[in-house]
């Protein structure tokens, strides 16, 4: 059941007040999703690489264009990996935070 909403985000280069170039995350695509739990095997495989997957969101492949960022329930996540579950659906495994150093 598609009972949740998330926002897919992309990096966009802008200028700050003093003219420096900065990268902002823009969440401009609102889509339906289904929240799933991270399986123990996925968690331990990722943890061995120093990563901590938080949640998995299942979305329609037609909605996804390789966006790297997701906002879900007012929290920002980065896409760790994708997995095509059928010809129409894809799972996004997400880690909390949007910077490389976040955990």
3-41 per-position pLDDT tens digit? 999 999 999 998 888 889 999 999 999 999 999 987 656
Q: Structure pTM? A: 0.81
**Residues in Cβ contact with 65 at an 8 Å cutoff, skipping those fewer than 6 apart:** 8
Percent of the chain at pLDDT exceeding 90 = 56
What are the tens digits of pLDDT across the range 79-89?
988 999 999 99
For residue 22, the number of C-alpha atoms closer than 13 Å in the C-beta half-sphere is 9
Which residues are CB-contacts of 74 (< 8 A; sequence separation ≥ 6)? none
Domain map (residue ranges) of the chain: 4-96
Judge contact between 7 and 26, C-beta under 8 A. no
4-96 CATH choice from 2.60.40, 3.30.750, 3.90.550, 2.40.10: 2.40.10
């Amino acid at each position: 059941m598609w009972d949740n909403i998330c926002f897919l985000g992309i990096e966009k280069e802008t200028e700050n007040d003093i003219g420096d170039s900065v990268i902002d995350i823009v969440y401009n695509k609102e889509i339906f999703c289904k929240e799933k739990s991270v399986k123990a095997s996925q968690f331990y495989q990722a943890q061995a690489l120093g990563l901590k997957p938080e949640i998995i969101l299942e979305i329609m492949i037609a909605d996804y264009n390789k966006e790297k960022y997701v906002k879900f329930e007012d929290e920002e996540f980065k896409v760790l990996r994708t997995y095509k579950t059928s010809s129409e659906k894809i799972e996004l495994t997400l880690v909390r935070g949007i910077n490389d150093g976040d955990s």
